[in-house]
């Protein structure tokens, strides 16, 4: 493959080919149907061709185009099964691999960023990349002190490509939107655009990863590789083996799926509480399932396995952890306190002042979505995700009409996307998870207020008895 395409006109032309390709295949399929082939067979072939083109264009462009593809891939579980099949392999492929940079480009980048004698920093360096992502690729190496390391090298011109891609993709948002029913693609693209400057800054990423590595050092459930060295657009971290989460999704055992799902949910809620940071890029390519010490991959008790977490380029800074408002409103919704929930949502800006909604209708809208928090154990499935997406996306549904009137305040946008993405991955895993346990342990307001109320009532009862 040639170097990362950087000229705006080249990238724009490639991205423009996506909607044109969709239209061309629609015409092709109509011709095939007129020619006598069944609609089902033709539709399946068209979806397969669309998926192949989607991966080819997004994977080759890398940058913001691939970042969008990765963000989109975690929502494939919301697609109707007859549509999801052809897209699943192509979108999931974006999570673990992409066409690599040529070796000479990698060497040139390392010489510019680490110095002409960069090879002296390593005892070994593998030219073939171990992984390629949206703005950089990773090479396996051995640091000069003998540690196995991962060397992440940013693609030359990645910043320009990111901004250009996302600007162009926003123009096609209406055409790309139908890929995921019930989801407005344009705000997703806008939010990704707002985060790119941070993700391009490897110094910020190194700082966030060091903070996580320190807080989770020795943790029995979560492992974060520490930072070894950082210079300009190169980041060197400890190497982490393990089973990629995409592999667990495709052929993991039930025990592996449940353990991965439980730990993913735990990290989502305990991360902000322990570090003040929210890991905001929860696609499967950023996670590994690590067997217990002494056990080979695929063997041993899954209950002892840990979740390995990679890539801290995108984080949300939450010094106080997740907002207490989330725990309060979730607890009150489960308790059926419609007026109280509506009051909180209005105060936080989820319901605009100009809108007047029925609190009972809002409660009815929310309850199916938070079903996993209402029970001790919940089985996340693609079917459940599709049902939720269909309920919210069907214009004939009361949920669709009400949802259109709700607002997502900017302060909650990233939290919302990360939570929704994580749920998407849990559904891909088909994992049974004790989500309520994690909420009770880590989400401010989910139980604390209820416990305080019980203590006050007990004190009041005691005073009444004395009187």
Quote the pLDDT of residue 310: 95
- Which of 225, 207, 211 has its CA nearest to residue 309? 225
Please give the pLDDT value at position 392.
82
pLDDT tens digits, 271-300:
999 999 999 988 888 999 998 765 555 566
| Residue-by-residue DSSP string for 405-455 | T----HHHHHHHHHHHHHHHHHHHHT-EE-HHHHHHHHSTTSSHHHHHHHH
What local confidence, expressed as pLDDT, does residue 131 receive?
84
CB 44 within 8 A of CB 29: no
Computed over every residue of the chain, the mean pLDDT equals 79
Q: How far, in Å, CA of 352 to CA of 342, rounded?
A: 11
Dist CA 404 CA 393 (whole Å):
10
Distance, CA of 234 to CA of 136 (rounded, Å) = 9
**What's the pLDDT tens digit per position in 138-164?**
999 999 999 999 999 998 877 776 666
Topology of 103-158+197-238 in CATH? Phosphorylase Kinase; domain 1 (3.30.200)
Q: Is 317 helix (H, G, I), strand (E, B) or coil?
A: strand
Domain ranges of the chain: 8-96+161-195, 103-158+197-238, 324-455
Tell me what pLDDT residue 21 has: 44
Percentages helix, strand, coil for the chain, rounded to the nearest 5? 60, 10, 30
Q: What is the pLDDT of residue 182?
A: 45
pTM of structure:
0.76
**pLDDT value of residue 237:** 98
Please, what are the averages of pLDDT over each run of 10 residues along the chain (467 residues)?
Answer: 47 52 39 44 52 58 55 56 56 56 92 96 96 82 98 84 66 54 60 72 96 97 98 95 94 95 98 96 91 64 92 92 96 96 95 92 95 97 88 82 84 87 93 97 81 40 38
What per-residue confidence (pLDDT) applies to 242?
Answer: 94
What is the per-residue pLDDT across 89-121, written as a single tens digit (0 to 9) for each?
555 555 444 567 889 999 999 999 999 999 999
H or E stretch covering 275: helix 254-275
Task: Tell me what pLDDT residue 450 has.
Answer: 42
Q: Is 281 a catalytic residue?
A: yes
Number of C-alpha atoms within 13 angstroms, CB side, residue 436?
13
Q: What number of H helices and E strands is found in the chain?
A: 20, 14
Q: Which of 165, 258, 281, 328 is catalytic?
A: 281
Residue 267 to residue 274: CA distance in whole angstroms: 10
């Amino acid at each position: 493959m040639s170097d990362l395409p950087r000229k705006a006109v080249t990238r724009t032309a490639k991205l423009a080919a996506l909607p044109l390709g969709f239209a061309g295949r629609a015409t092709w399929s109509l011709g095939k149907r007129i020619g006598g082939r069944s609609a089902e067979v033709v539709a399946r072939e068209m979806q397969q061709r669309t998926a192949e083109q989607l991966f080819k264009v997004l994977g080759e462009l890398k940058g913001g185009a691939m970042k969008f593809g990765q963000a989109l891939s975690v929502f494939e579980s919301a697609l109707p099964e007859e549509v999801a099949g052809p897209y699943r392999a192509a979108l999931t492929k974006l999570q673990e691999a992409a066409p690599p940079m040529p070796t000479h480009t990698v060497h040139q980048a390392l010489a510019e960023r680490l110095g002409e004698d960069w090879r002296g920093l390593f005892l070994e360096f593998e030219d073939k990349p171990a992984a390629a992502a949206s703005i950089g690729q990773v090479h396996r190496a051995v640091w000069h002190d003998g540690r196995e390391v991962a060397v992440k090298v940013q693609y030359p011109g990645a910043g320009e490509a990111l901004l250009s891609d996302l600007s162009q993709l926003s123009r096609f948002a209406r055409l790309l939107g139908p890929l995921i029913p019930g989801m407005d693609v344009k705000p997703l693209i806008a939010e990704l655009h707002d985060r790119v400057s941070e993700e391009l800054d490897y110094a910020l990423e190194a700082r966030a990863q060091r903070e996580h590595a320190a807080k989770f050092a020795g943790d029995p459930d979560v492992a974060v590789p520490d930072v070894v060295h950082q210079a300009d657009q190169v980041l060197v971290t400890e190497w982490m083996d393990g089973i990629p989460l995409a592999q667990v999704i495709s052929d993991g055992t039930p025990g592996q799926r449940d353990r991965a799902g439980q730990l993913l949910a735990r990290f989502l809620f305990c991360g902000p509480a322990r570090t003040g940071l929210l890991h905001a890029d929860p696609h499967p390519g950023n996670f590994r399932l690590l067997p217990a010490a002494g056990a080979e991959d695929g063997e041993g008790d899954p209950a002892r396995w840990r979740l390995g977490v990679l890539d801290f380029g995108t984080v949300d800074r939450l010094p106080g952890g997740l907002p207490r408002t989330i725990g309060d409103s979730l607890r009150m919704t489960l308790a059926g306190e419609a007026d109280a929930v509506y009051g909180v949502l209005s105060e936080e800006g989820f319901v605009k002042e100009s809108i007047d909604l029925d609190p009972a209708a809002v409660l009815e809208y929310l309850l199916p979505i938070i079903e996993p928090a209402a029970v001790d154990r919940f089985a996340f499935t693609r079917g459940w995700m599709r049902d939720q997406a269909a309920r919210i996306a069907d214009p004939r549904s009361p949920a669709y009409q009400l949802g259109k009137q709700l607002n997502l305040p900017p302060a909650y946008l990233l939290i919302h996307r990360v939570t929704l993405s994580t749920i998407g991955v849990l559904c891909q895993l088909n994992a049974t998870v004790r989500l309520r346990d994690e909420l009770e342990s880590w989400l401010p307001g989910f139980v604390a207020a209820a416990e305080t109320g019980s203590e006050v009532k007990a004190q009041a009862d005691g005073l009444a008895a004395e009187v």
